[in-house]
Amino acid sequence: MGEIVFTEKQEALVKESWEILKQDIPRYSLHFFSQILEIAPAAKDMFSFLRDTDEVPHNNPKLKAHAVKVFKMTCETAIQLREKGKVAVPDTTLQYLGSVHLKSGVLDPHFEVVKEALVRTLKEGLGEKYNEEVEGAWSQAYDHLALAIKAEMKQEN
Ligand code: HEM
Protein backbone atom coordinates (compact mmCIF):
# COMPACT_ATOMS: atom_id res chain seq x y z
CA MET A 1 0.00 0.00 0.00
CA GLY A 2 1.26 3.49 -0.84
CA GLU A 3 1.91 6.13 1.76
CA ILE A 4 -1.20 7.62 3.31
CA VAL A 5 -1.51 11.38 3.41
CA PHE A 6 -2.76 12.53 6.77
CA THR A 7 -2.22 16.20 7.48
CA GLU A 8 -1.12 18.04 10.61
CA LYS A 9 -4.48 19.75 10.64
CA GLN A 10 -6.28 16.41 10.62
CA GLU A 11 -4.04 15.12 13.41
CA ALA A 12 -4.75 18.25 15.46
CA LEU A 13 -8.51 17.93 14.94
CA VAL A 14 -8.48 14.33 16.16
CA LYS A 15 -6.32 15.14 19.18
CA GLU A 16 -8.38 18.17 20.14
CA SER A 17 -11.67 16.35 19.95
CA TRP A 18 -10.37 13.40 21.95
CA GLU A 19 -9.26 15.88 24.65
CA ILE A 20 -12.86 17.10 24.85
CA LEU A 21 -14.47 13.67 24.99
CA LYS A 22 -11.92 12.44 27.53
CA GLN A 23 -13.32 14.88 30.04
CA ASP A 24 -16.48 12.83 30.47
CA ILE A 25 -15.74 9.17 29.79
CA PRO A 26 -18.80 7.82 31.69
CA ARG A 27 -21.15 9.93 29.58
CA TYR A 28 -19.56 9.37 26.20
CA SER A 29 -18.86 5.67 26.64
CA LEU A 30 -22.54 5.21 27.48
CA HIS A 31 -23.56 7.24 24.46
CA PHE A 32 -21.17 5.26 22.24
CA PHE A 33 -22.60 1.90 23.33
CA SER A 34 -26.20 3.12 23.15
CA GLN A 35 -25.53 4.07 19.54
CA ILE A 36 -23.93 0.70 18.75
CA LEU A 37 -27.04 -1.05 20.08
CA GLU A 38 -29.41 1.31 18.33
CA ILE A 39 -27.74 0.64 14.99
CA ALA A 40 -27.18 -3.09 15.53
CA PRO A 41 -29.27 -4.50 18.42
CA ALA A 42 -27.95 -7.99 17.76
CA ALA A 43 -24.40 -6.86 18.58
CA LYS A 44 -25.38 -6.81 22.26
CA ASP A 45 -24.75 -10.46 22.96
CA MET A 46 -21.15 -10.29 21.79
CA PHE A 47 -20.22 -8.11 24.74
CA SER A 48 -19.83 -10.00 28.05
CA PHE A 49 -20.99 -6.96 30.01
CA LEU A 50 -24.21 -6.52 28.00
CA ARG A 51 -25.28 -10.11 27.65
CA ASP A 52 -27.33 -10.35 30.84
CA THR A 53 -28.85 -6.88 30.97
CA ASP A 54 -31.67 -5.11 29.19
CA GLU A 55 -30.05 -1.72 29.47
CA VAL A 56 -26.61 -0.36 28.77
CA PRO A 57 -25.06 -0.45 32.28
CA HIS A 58 -23.87 2.82 33.80
CA ASN A 59 -20.32 3.01 35.05
CA ASN A 60 -19.33 -0.44 33.89
CA PRO A 61 -15.51 -0.66 33.81
CA LYS A 62 -15.38 -3.01 30.81
CA LEU A 63 -17.79 -0.89 28.82
CA LYS A 64 -15.75 2.22 29.54
CA ALA A 65 -12.53 0.35 28.70
CA HIS A 66 -13.78 -0.68 25.26
CA ALA A 67 -15.07 2.78 24.43
CA VAL A 68 -11.80 4.38 25.55
CA LYS A 69 -9.75 1.84 23.57
CA VAL A 70 -11.59 2.53 20.34
CA PHE A 71 -11.24 6.30 20.68
CA LYS A 72 -7.70 6.26 22.01
CA MET A 73 -6.34 3.79 19.49
CA THR A 74 -7.96 5.71 16.66
CA CYS A 75 -6.31 8.86 17.98
CA GLU A 76 -2.94 7.07 18.17
CA THR A 77 -3.47 5.81 14.63
CA ALA A 78 -4.06 9.39 13.47
CA ILE A 79 -0.68 10.36 14.95
CA GLN A 80 1.03 7.40 13.26
CA LEU A 81 -0.58 8.20 9.91
CA ARG A 82 0.68 11.76 10.08
CA GLU A 83 4.16 10.83 11.31
CA LYS A 84 4.80 7.69 9.27
CA GLY A 85 2.14 7.57 6.58
CA LYS A 86 0.95 4.19 7.85
CA VAL A 87 -0.59 2.35 10.78
CA ALA A 88 2.13 1.36 13.25
CA VAL A 89 0.35 -0.71 15.90
CA PRO A 90 2.83 -3.21 17.40
CA ASP A 91 2.39 -6.77 16.05
CA THR A 92 1.66 -8.22 19.47
CA THR A 93 -1.15 -5.70 20.04
CA LEU A 94 -2.61 -6.45 16.62
CA GLN A 95 -2.47 -10.18 17.28
CA TYR A 96 -4.24 -9.66 20.58
CA LEU A 97 -6.90 -7.46 18.93
CA GLY A 98 -7.35 -9.99 16.15
CA SER A 99 -7.88 -12.91 18.49
CA VAL A 100 -10.16 -11.05 20.96
CA HIS A 101 -12.50 -9.98 18.19
CA LEU A 102 -12.43 -13.29 16.39
CA LYS A 103 -13.28 -15.11 19.62
CA SER A 104 -16.09 -12.67 20.37
CA GLY A 105 -17.72 -13.36 16.99
CA VAL A 106 -17.05 -9.91 15.53
CA LEU A 107 -17.52 -9.72 11.75
CA ASP A 108 -16.35 -7.15 9.19
CA PRO A 109 -19.69 -5.24 9.02
CA HIS A 110 -19.55 -4.62 12.78
CA PHE A 111 -16.64 -2.27 12.18
CA GLU A 112 -18.95 -0.01 10.16
CA VAL A 113 -21.44 -0.03 13.03
CA VAL A 114 -18.78 1.02 15.51
CA LYS A 115 -17.56 3.72 13.14
CA GLU A 116 -21.04 5.20 12.87
CA ALA A 117 -21.40 5.08 16.67
CA LEU A 118 -18.04 6.82 17.00
CA VAL A 119 -19.10 9.57 14.60
CA ARG A 120 -22.40 10.09 16.43
CA THR A 121 -20.58 10.28 19.76
CA LEU A 122 -18.22 12.90 18.36
CA LYS A 123 -21.22 14.92 17.19
CA GLU A 124 -22.78 14.70 20.62
CA GLY A 125 -19.58 15.66 22.45
CA LEU A 126 -18.30 18.40 20.18
CA GLY A 127 -21.50 20.27 19.50
CA GLU A 128 -20.65 23.37 17.47
CA LYS A 129 -17.05 22.26 17.07
CA TYR A 130 -18.18 19.27 15.04
CA ASN A 131 -17.85 19.50 11.28
CA GLU A 132 -17.13 17.41 8.21
CA GLU A 133 -13.41 17.91 8.49
CA VAL A 134 -13.42 16.45 12.01
CA GLU A 135 -15.55 13.55 10.85
CA GLY A 136 -13.29 12.93 7.87
CA ALA A 137 -10.12 12.88 9.97
CA TRP A 138 -11.56 10.42 12.53
CA SER A 139 -13.10 8.25 9.79
CA GLN A 140 -9.85 8.02 7.90
CA ALA A 141 -7.84 7.06 10.99
CA TYR A 142 -10.52 4.60 12.15
CA ASP A 143 -10.74 2.95 8.72
CA HIS A 144 -7.02 2.29 8.63
CA LEU A 145 -7.00 0.85 12.14
CA ALA A 146 -10.07 -1.30 11.40
CA LEU A 147 -8.41 -2.56 8.21
CA ALA A 148 -5.36 -3.68 10.19
CA ILE A 149 -7.51 -5.48 12.78
CA LYS A 150 -9.67 -7.14 10.12
CA ALA A 151 -6.58 -8.33 8.23
CA GLU A 152 -5.24 -9.86 11.44
CA MET A 153 -8.59 -11.57 12.10
CA LYS A 154 -8.44 -13.14 8.65
CA GLN A 155 -4.92 -14.38 9.20
CA GLU A 156 -5.90 -16.10 12.42
CA ASN A 157 -9.00 -17.64 10.92
C1 HEM B 1 -12.63 -6.38 23.05
C2 HEM B 1 -10.43 -2.67 20.83
C3 HEM B 1 -13.81 -2.75 17.35
C4 HEM B 1 -16.34 -5.93 19.95
C5 HEM B 1 -11.70 -5.42 22.71
C6 HEM B 1 -10.48 -5.16 23.41
C7 HEM B 1 -9.87 -4.12 22.80
C8 HEM B 1 -10.70 -3.70 21.70
C9 HEM B 1 -8.53 -3.47 23.18
C10 HEM B 1 -9.97 -5.96 24.63
C11 HEM B 1 -10.75 -5.64 25.85
C12 HEM B 1 -10.55 -4.24 26.35
O13 HEM B 1 -9.41 -3.86 26.62
O14 HEM B 1 -11.55 -3.53 26.51
C15 HEM B 1 -11.15 -2.37 19.69
C16 HEM B 1 -10.77 -1.40 18.69
C17 HEM B 1 -11.72 -1.43 17.70
C18 HEM B 1 -12.70 -2.42 18.09
C19 HEM B 1 -9.52 -0.50 18.77
C20 HEM B 1 -11.85 -0.67 16.42
C21 HEM B 1 -10.95 0.13 15.90
C22 HEM B 1 -14.80 -3.62 17.76
C23 HEM B 1 -15.98 -3.92 17.00
C24 HEM B 1 -16.72 -4.79 17.76
C25 HEM B 1 -15.96 -5.06 18.96
C26 HEM B 1 -16.30 -3.37 15.63
C27 HEM B 1 -18.08 -5.35 17.47
C28 HEM B 1 -19.15 -4.61 17.34
C29 HEM B 1 -15.54 -6.35 20.99
C30 HEM B 1 -15.93 -7.38 21.96
C31 HEM B 1 -14.87 -7.52 22.86
C32 HEM B 1 -13.84 -6.57 22.42
C33 HEM B 1 -17.25 -8.15 21.97
C34 HEM B 1 -14.82 -8.42 24.11
C35 HEM B 1 -15.24 -7.53 25.26
C36 HEM B 1 -15.90 -8.24 26.43
O37 HEM B 1 -16.85 -9.01 26.21
O38 HEM B 1 -15.50 -8.00 27.57
N39 HEM B 1 -11.81 -4.53 21.67
N40 HEM B 1 -12.33 -2.96 19.30
N41 HEM B 1 -14.80 -4.33 18.93
N42 HEM B 1 -14.28 -5.89 21.30
FE43 HEM B 1 -13.33 -4.41 20.31
| All domains of the chain in start order, with CATH | 8-156 (1.10.490.10)
SS (H, E, C) the chain: CCCCCCCHHHHHHHHHHHHHHHCCHHHHHHHHHHHHHHHCHHHHHHCCCCCCCCCCCCCCHHHHHHHHHHHHHHHHHHHHHHHHCCCCCCHHHHHHHHHHHHHCCCCHHHHHHHHHHHHHHHHHHHHHHCCHHHHHHHHHHHHHHHHHHHHHHHHHC
Give the per-residue pLDDT at 157: 65
Give the per-residue pLDDT at 156: 75
Mutational test site, ligand 1, from 34, 66, 75, max ligand atoms within 8 Å of CB: 66
Banded pLDDT at 1 (limits 50, 70, 90): low
Average pLDDT over residues 66-79: 98
Summary count for the chain: helices (H), strands (E) = 6, 0
Give the per-residue pLDDT at 53: 87
User: Which residue owns the Cα nearest ligand 1 atom 35?
Assistant: 47
Q: Residue 2: pLDDT above 80? A: no
The per-residue pLDDT for range 98-145, each reduced to its tens digit, is 999 999 999 999 999 999 999 999 999 999 999 999 999 999 999 999
Residues with beta carbon inside 6 Å of ligand 1?
43, 46-49, 62, 65-66, 69-70, 73, 97, 100-101, 104, 106, 110-111, 113-114, 142, 145-146, 149
Q: Residue 155: pLDDT above 90? A: no
Give the per-residue pLDDT at 3: 82
The per-residue pLDDT for range 5-54, each reduced to its tens digit, is 999 999 999 999 999 999 999 999 999 999 999 999 999 999 999 998 88
Give the per-residue pLDDT at 65: 97
Mutational test site, ligand 1, from 69, 87, 95, max ligand atoms within 8 Å of CB: 69
